[in-house]
Amino acid sequence: MMRWIAVIALNFLLFHSVLAQTRVVSGKITDAQTRTAMSGVTVTVKGGSQGVSSGQDGTYSLQGVTDQTVLVFSILGYSTHEINIGGRSVLDISLQTSFNELEETVVVGYGRQKKRNLTGSIVSVNNEEIEKTALQDPISILQGRAAGVQITSNSGAPGGEMTIRVRGNSSLNSGNNPLFVVDGIPIESGSLSNLNGTEGFGLNPLAAINPGDIESIEILKDAASTAIYGSRAANGVVMITTKRGAEGKATVDVNFTTGVSELPRKLSVLNATQYRQAIIDSYNNMDNPEEPFWTILDSLSAMNNGDVDWQRELMRVAPQYKVDLSVRGGSKTTQYAWSTSYLDQDGIILNSNFKRLTSRLNTDFNLTDKLKIGQSIAYTNSLNNRINAAGAGNLSVIRELLIRPPIMSMYLPDGSLNGYSLGRRNPVGIAKYATNLNKSNRIIGSQYLEYEIIPELTFRSNLNFDFTSMKEEEFMPTILDYREGYNTGAVRSITNMTWSSESFLRYAKTFNQDHNFGALLGFSLQNWRYDRTGLNGSFFPSDNIRTLNAAGTISNKDSDGVDINVASEHAMMSYFGRASYDYQGKYLAEVNLRADGSSRFGRQKRFGYFPSASVGWRFSQEDFFTIGAVNDGKIRFSMGKTGNEAIGDYTSQGEFMVGANYLDFSGAAPTVMPNEGLTWETTTQYNAGLDLAFLGDKITFTTDLYIKNTDDLLYNVPIPTTTGFSSFMQNIGSIQNRGVEFLLTTKNISRDVFSWGTNLNISLNRNKVLSLPEELLTNGYIQNGSYHILQEGLPIGVFYGWRFDGVYARDVHNVNAITHGALGPVFKGGDPIWHDLNGDNIINPDDRQIIGTAEPKFFGGFGNDFTYKNFSLNVFFQFSYGNDIYSSINQERNSIVRYNNLSADALNRWREQGDITNYPKPVRDDPMQTDSRVSSRWVEDGSYIKLKNVNLRYTFPNSWINRIGLRKVDAFVTGTNLITWTKYTGFDPDVNSFSGLRVGVDQGSYPQNRMFIFGLNIGL
- Helix and strand tally (H, E) in the chain? 11, 54
Tens digit of each residue's pLDDT (9 = 90 or more) over 715-742: 888 778 888 888 888 888 899 999 999 9
> Closest Cα to residue 706, out of 127, 304, 222, 38?
222
* pLDDT grade for 803, boundaries at 50, 70 and 90: very high
Question: What residue type is 412 in one-letter code?
Answer: L
Please indicate, yes or no, whether residues 175 and 206 belong to a single structural domain of this protein.
yes
pLDDT of residue 929: 86
CB 992 within 8 A of CB 907: no
Could you tell me if 183 and 106 lie in one domain? yes
- Spatial distance between the Cα atoms of 54 and 57, rounded to a whole number of angstroms: 8
238 and 111, same domain (yes or no): yes
**Does the residue 258 lie in any domain?**
no
Local confidence band at 119 (pLDDT 50, 70, 90 cut-offs)? very high
The identity of residue 416, as a single letter, is S
Handedness of CA 820, 825, 831, 833 (dihedral sign): positive
- Tell me, yes or no, whether 118 and 239 share the same domain: yes
Of 777-786, 886-895, 902-911, the poorest mean pLDDT is in 777-786
The residue among 45, 61, 95 that closes a domain is 95
Q: Which amino acid is at 938?
A: W
Over residues 511-566, the pLDDT tens digits come to 988 999 999 999 999 999 999 999 999 999 999 998 888 999 999 888 877 888 99
Kind plus residue range of the DSSP H or E element containing 571 = strand 566-583
Mean pLDDT value of segment 85-103: 72
Q: pLDDT for 810-859, tens place per residue?
A: 999 999 999 999 988 999 999 999 999 999 999 999 999 999 999 999 99
- Please report, to the nearest 10 degrees, the dihedral formed by the alpha carbons of residues 386, 390, 395, 401 taken in order: 100
Neighbours of 162 (CB within 10 A): 21
How many domains, the chain? 2
66 with 151, same domain?
no
pLDDT band per the 50, 70, 90 thresholds, residue 783: confident
Are 29 and 120 in the same domain? Answer: no
Between 160-169, 303-312, 331-340, 654-663, the lowest mean confidence (pLDDT) is in 654-663
Please give the pLDDT value at position 33. Answer: 63
CA distances from 636 to 116, 146, 354, 591 (A): 11, 19, 44, 13
Q: What end-to-end distance do the CA atoms of the chain give, in Å?
A: 63
What DSSP string describes 330-375?
A: E-SSEEEEEEEEEEEEE-SBTT-EEEEEEEEEEEEEE-SSSEEEEE
Task: Tell me the CATH number at 77.
Answer: 2.60.40.1120
Query: Tell me, what's the pLDDT at 11?
Result: 43
- 210 alpha carbon, distance to own chain's centre: 14
**Same domain (yes/no): 191, 68:** no
Nearest CA-CA partner of 463 in 448, 441, 478: 448
Is the domain of 28 the same as that of 49?
yes
Range of the domain at 35: 23-95
Look at residue 42 in the predicted model and tell me its pLDDT: 83
590 conformational bin, left if phi > 0, alpha if psi -120 to 50, beta if neither: beta
Position 833 scores a pLDDT of 97
Question: CA 883 from chain center: how many Å?
Answer: 19
Residue 152's CATH number: 2.170.130.10
User: For residue 99, what pLDDT is reported?
Assistant: 44
Q: Tell me, yes or no, whether 114 lies in a domain.
A: yes
Share in percent of the chain as helix, strand, coil (round to 5): 15, 50, 40
Same domain, 147 and 222: yes
Pairing of strands 681-694, 699-718: antiparallel
**pLDDT reading at 5 higher than 50:** no
**pLDDT, the chain, mean:** 90
CB 99 within 8 A of CB 697: yes
263-281: average pLDDT: 95
Of the candidates 293, 254, 446, the residue with the CA atom closest to the CA atom of residue 363: 446
What pLDDT does residue 103 have?
Answer: 56
* Residue 918 near residue 807, CB atoms below 8 Å: yes
Position 155 in a domain: yes
pLDDT band of 21, cuts 50, 70, 90: low
State which of 95, 122, 141 marks the end of a domain.
95
Same domain, 113 and 182: yes
Rounded CA-CA distance 213/311 in Å is 37
Residue after which a domain boundary falls, among 95, 121, 136: 95
C-beta of residue 712 within 8 angstroms of C-beta of residue 679: yes
Within-domain flag for 392: no
DSSP for 797-846, please give it: TEEEEBPEEEE-SSGGG-TT--EESTTSPBP-TTSEEE--TTSSSEESGG
Greatest mean pLDDT among 39-48, 300-309, 509-518 lies in: 509-518
Interatomic CA distance for residues 113 and 101, integer angstroms: 13
H helices present in 910-957, as ranges: none
Look at residue 228 and tell me if it is in a domain. Answer: yes
**Band of pLDDT at residue 701, cut at 50, 70 and 90:** very high
Give domain status of residue 321, yes or no. no
- Any domain includes 231: yes
Dihedral (CA of 923, 926, 932, 933) sign? negative
- The whole-number pLDDT of residue 4 equals 41
Does 198 share its domain with 87? no
CA distances (Å), origin 872, targets 31, 100, 128, 951, 955: 12, 21, 12, 8, 8
Q: Is residue 678 part of a domain?
A: no
Mean per-residue pLDDT, 173-186: 88
Q: Say yes or no: 179 and 232 in one domain.
A: yes
